Every structure is written in structure tokens, then in C-alpha cells.
Amino acid sequence: MSQLEPNSILFVYGTKSSGKSTVMRRVIKELENSNIVFFYYNLREHATYSKEEFLEVFFEKDKNKVVRNNLILDLKVFKIGIEENYDFSKLSLNDVFKKIKSSINTVIKNGKKPVLIFDELQKLKNIYFNGNKPLLNELFNLFVSLTKMEHLCHVICLTSDTLFIEEIYRNSSLKNASKYYLIDWLRKNSIRNILKEEGFSEEEINYCLNYLSLPYEIVDLIENKKLGLTVEETIKQWINIEKDGLKYLIDTTDLDVEKIYNVLSKFNNKIKIYYDKEVKKEEMRYIKFLVENEILFYDVVNGIIKPTSIIEWIAIREVLK
């Protein structure tokens, strides 16, 4: 990152709890003593339903243009500074962007390389500024300017909302200004090594490899073992919870239930399907419903649709019985 010239917006995407934020925080931690200045905005921790709330997340009132982010004390992360007496209510989008570019240029003049990171960027979709301008659209224009046009700053956007990624991926104005990086399920070797280090037996590990795919599952498994639960008991609980949740979702929707089951049946004997070969146009409505409710994961970049986890896949097959 420190050697590459900013040339495109990087979208890091993946299922919920796939480890996107963890990976990014690890990168920041490892580079905290480098010449990189990170501006990291974790939008999952804030409502960000309004212009004012967005500004409070983005700016820190201080006499300096670049201010240490007190919300992330364990990382070398900064916010953009704004004068103590500055009136947020009078800020226009142009004012916001001028402040951002001014702070970025300050970082560059100090011999540092700025990186903007937005975690769960899609939460800004419903915010509008002066003249009812959608904040997100204008931010993307700024990002393109900072990266592809002026090469001033790296911009990284994290999201678990794959329908949001679809919107971006099909946005012609971003087509040649964006790159995409998928954080997918954990590899079996990684799972094996972690569980081995945590003292799981070979029998337990081999059992778990049939079910685990996400980092938080490993954490829960380790905690539950400390509480006296076997791996079989823990995994059975997970499957039952996901199965009951899926059944409730189907029973309470106004959509055509038979068509939902038809979509789910595509996963009865396979764990993933290909959009261009196995999905009919009329089925996308039901697929998007299942994606919105975190049953399915739609990887629009690679044209793949699959359950959000192996546990979810097993739950789908249980519901289909």
C-alpha cells in the first residue's frame, strides 16, 4: 500500500462476520509505525441517519487539521480536525470536501501517505445534504477525484451488504475507478491450525471442519468448550437456531412461499450456484429477499450465490426436508 500510487477505490466485501474489520484493523496495527496516516470510520458503531451525525463521526473539533481518533485508542488512527467554534449546521458538501482535501494535503506535505477507510459505508445511503444531494453519490465523486484523478489518497470501503456492492459494481461512473477484494470463508487448513493451537483433539477438529466457515464461529466454539459444551452440542445449537430463523422468515413474509422454496432447493445438493447459468430473471426478487435477510450471499463480482455460511447451508437443507 505504501508503495502503490492511489489509482482506484478498493471495495472489501464479504459475508457478515467474515473478518473484514478484523483484517483491516490488523493491517492498521502492523503499519502503525510506517509513514501512513489512517483515517478510519467505523460506521457500524453509529446511527449515521442524519447529516449532523455523519459530521460528528467524520470530524473532530480541534485546532489541528489532523486529530488523533480517541474512539480507537489502540490503533494509530486519526480524524479530520475542524475548528472548535465551527457551526456544523452551516456546512455544505463543498465545505466538507474542502476540509477533507485540506487535511489530506496537510498529511502529504508532512511526508506521510493518507488512507481513508469506511467500514459499512452503505449506512450513508439515506443521508442528503444541501439541495437534497445524496451524500453517498457525492462521496464517490470525491473518492474518484482523490484516487484515479489526483492520486492523492488511498480509499478503502468495507461492506457486508452485497446488494450495495451490486449497485456499485454496475455503476458505470465507477466501473474503471474501482477494485474489489472478497474476504471469503476461512480455509480448512486455517481452521485446523487455529483449533489445534487451542487444544482441540484431532477427532474434534475433523468434525468441525464439516461445519465451520467464519471466524466468529471459532471464537464461540472455543468459549463454549470452556463452558463444558461439546463441539457437537454447540454446532447442533447453531443449526437449530438458523433453521428456526429461516422457517420463521418464510412463514412471515408476503412473498410467494413456493417460489422461495424453489430458490432454496437450488442449494439442496450444491453449496453454490452461478448467476448467469442457474438463475432465472424472475427468481432474482426472491434471491435478493434471502440476501437482504442474510440467508444467501451474492458475490456479484464473481457471479456466485451461496449461503452465508456452511451452517446456514445445512439449515437450508434441513428446512427443505
**Domain with 266 in it: what CATH number?**
1.10.10.10
Q: Cβ distance 231 to 208 under 8 Å?
A: yes
Residue that terminates a domain, selected from 182, 215, 249: 182
Domain range for 70: 9-182
83-109 residue pLDDT tens: 877 777 777 778 888 888 999 999 999
Retrieve residue 25's grid coordinates.
484493523
Beta bridge partners of 10: 156, 179
**What is the 3-state secondary structure of the chain?**
CCCCCCCCEEEEECCCCCCHHHHHHHHHHHCCCCCEEEEEEEHHHCCCCCHHHHHHHHEEECCCCEEECCCCCCCCEEEEEECCCCCHHHCCHHHHHHHHHHHHHHHHHCCCEEEEEEECHHHHCCCEEHHHEEHHHHHHHHHHHHHHHCCCCEEEEEECCHHHHHHHHCCHHHCCCEEEEECCCCCHHHHHHHHHHCCCCHHHHHHHCCCCCCHHHHHHHHHHHHCCCCHHHHHHHHHHHHHHHHHHHHHHCCCCHHHHHHHHHHHCCCCCEEHHHHCCHHHHHHHHHHHHCCCEEEECCCCEEEECCHHHHHHHHHHHC
* Same domain? 114 vs 240: no
Predicted local distance difference test score (pLDDT) of residue 282: 95
Question: Which CATH number is 88's domain given?
Answer: 3.40.50.300
CA distance 90 to 88: 5
Q: Are residues 50 and 114 in the same domain?
A: yes
Of the residues 182, 216, 236, the one at which a domain ends: 182
**What pLDDT, on the 0 to 100 scale, is given for residue 73?**
67
Same domain, 144 and 13: yes
Note whether 132 and 265 are same-domain residues.
no
Same domain, 52 and 174: yes
Domain end (from 182, 209, 243): 182
The pTM of this model reads: 0.90
Residue 2 lies in a domain: no
Q: How many domains does the chain have?
A: 2
Same domain, 42 and 63: yes
Q: pLDDT digit string (tens) for 229-254?
A: 999 999 999 999 999 999 999 999 99
One domain, residues 159 and 195 = no
The answer to whether residue 202 is domain-embedded is: yes
In the predicted structure, residue 1 carries a pLDDT above the cut 60: no
115-155 pLDDT tens trace:
999 999 888 888 887 667 788 888 999 999 999 999 999 99
Render pLDDT for 44-90 as a digit per residue (tens, 0 to 9).
Answer: 766 556 777 777 778 888 888 888 887 776 788 888 888 877 777 77
Give the number of other Cβ atoms within 10 Å of residue 287's Cβ. Answer: 22
Do 39 and 156 share a domain, yes or no?
yes
